[in-house]
Amino acid sequence: MKAVIQDRYGPPEVLQLVDLPVPEVSDDQVLIAVHAAGVDRGTWHLTTGLPYLLRLSGYGFRRPRVPTAGRDVAGTVVAIGSAVTGFAVGDQVFGSCSGAYAEYACGPASSFIMKPAVLSFEQAAAAPTSAITALAALRTVGGLQAGQAVLVVGASGGVGAFAVQIAHAMGAEVTAVCSSRGVEFVRSLGADAVIDYAKAPLAPERKYHLILDIAGGRPLRRLRRLLTGSGTLVIVGSETGGRLFGPLGRTLQALLLSPFVRQRLKGLMAFTNPEGLAALSRLIEAGSVTPVVVKSYSLAEAAQAVRQVGEGGILGKVVLSVRA
């Protein structure tokens, strides 16, 4: 099969298309014929090995421990392990596993769920990491309730576009922060109000019960001024903070400060998991969430796709289209 691998960290061009044997399923695994694979900021971080702290968290210090690239995937089940129940050959599924940028990918059965029929494979592959991050930030960590006001900073990108839709579906009043190119886009996703951060500063005339800090790396004191007295700030990420720690420096600062203030200051480390996939599927089937794919690339163009995501400014998601 054709597969994308990287034998070192570096610019997206370290991603190479090679021939590999089709993976063999072990007892608890499912093998899928990949139709589409998602590209997200996390893939860019794993390609470049930045920030360096990431390399210490099990991904490989000098070079990637797992050379096959890609995580989010949608496809058709072609083989199942002897201990797997709940899937059959021919099922259309989506989820996350290592080696998603390939014609075939293999992972634990718990990494996948049936693809909602309303989604194309490309839409399904765009969802897992970004949508489950948004869900975790709003619900599990953020504790958002219907009727509350939420500020989504970085609303037009991969995580933000899901966060706006999910918060709207949860009955929150959603204010989205993005640049001018994203204003109409985030409105179309359900934002009640939009702040173009290049034109207007985030001024504390208005207070929010929850802030998702997805981009921009603004100082904590500025974000805290926008929170209600007992509001919650969830730091999801940003591309600021340097090559060593990335956004983790601000997260650490928030965690250290949190016990001493009334507001809740939280970090987030979201992973695709069965409960998250099930909750996401319910939202998709209810019509509350629709992944927005702005561009698809071929498997051979994986490096270009990852480069585009790294350069930013995408409204929604980029995917690899692997087979029709």
Ligand X SMILES: NC(=O)c1ccc[n+]([C@@H]2O[C@H](COP(=O)([O-])OP(=O)(O)OC[C@H]3O[C@@H](n4cnc5c(N)ncnc54)[C@H](OP(=O)(O)O)[C@@H]3O)[C@@H](O)[C@H]2O)c1
The single residue among 99, 128, 157, 231 that binds ligand X, judged by CB under 6 A, is 157
Say if residues 127 and 280 touch (Cβ distance below 8 Å).
Answer: yes
Task: Return d(Cα 19, Cα 118) in angstroms, integer.
Answer: 33
Nearer to ligand X, 80 or 167 (CB): 167
The single residue among 101, 197, 208, 297 that binds ligand X, judged by CB under 6 A, is 197
239 binds ligand X (CB under 6 A): yes
Please state the closest distance from residue 236 (CB atom) to ligand X, in A: 5
Say if residues 167 and 323 touch (Cβ distance below 8 Å).
Answer: no
Instruction: Give me the amino acid identity at 229.
Output: G
CA angle 128, 130, 133 (to 5 degrees): 100
The single residue among 56, 269, 278, 300 that binds ligand X, judged by CB under 6 A, is 269
Stretch that binds ligand X, among 25-33, 141-149, 295-303, 306-314 (CB under 6 A): 306-314
The single residue among 314, 319, 320, 322 that binds ligand X, judged by CB under 6 A, is 314
Please state the closest distance from residue 160 (CB atom) to ligand X, in A: 5
148 binds ligand X (CB under 6 A): no
The single residue among 109, 151, 153, 289 that binds ligand X, judged by CB under 6 A, is 153
Task: Return d(Cα 167, Cα 151) in angstroms, integer.
Answer: 10
Task: Return d(Cα 117, Cα 115) in angstroms, integer.
Answer: 6
Say if residues 210 and 184 touch (Cβ distance below 8 Å).
Answer: no
CA angle 259, 265, 270 (to 5 degrees): 125
159 binds ligand X (CB under 6 A): yes
Stretch that binds ligand X, among 102-110, 125-133, 166-174, 273-281 (CB under 6 A): 125-133
165 binds ligand X (CB under 6 A): no
Please state the closest distance from residue 289 (CB atom) to ligand X, in A: 15
Nearer to ligand X, 73 or 77 (CB): 73
Stretch that binds ligand X, among 75-83, 168-176, 237-245, 253-261 (CB under 6 A): 237-245
Selection from 188, 191, 243 nearest residue 212 by Cα:
191
291 binds ligand X (CB under 6 A): no
- Judged by CB under 6 A, how many residues of this single chain contact ligand X? 34
Length of the chain: 324
41 binds ligand X (CB under 6 A): yes
Task: Give, as ranges, the residues between 12 and 31 that touch ligand X (CB under 6 A).
Answer: none
Instruction: Give me the amino acid identity at 245.
Output: F
Task: Return d(Cα 93, Cα 84) in angstroms, integer.
Answer: 14
Selection from 156, 159, 124, 158 nearest residue 138 by Cα:
159
Q: Which residues contact 194 (CB under 8 A, 6 or more apart)?
A: 155, 175, 176, 177, 178, 183, 186, 187
Please state the closest distance from residue 277 (CB atom) to ligand X, in A: 15
Positions in the binding site for ligand X (CB under 6 A) = 40-42, 45, 129-130, 133, 153-154, 156-160, 177-179, 181-182, 197, 214-216, 236-239, 247, 268-270, 312-314
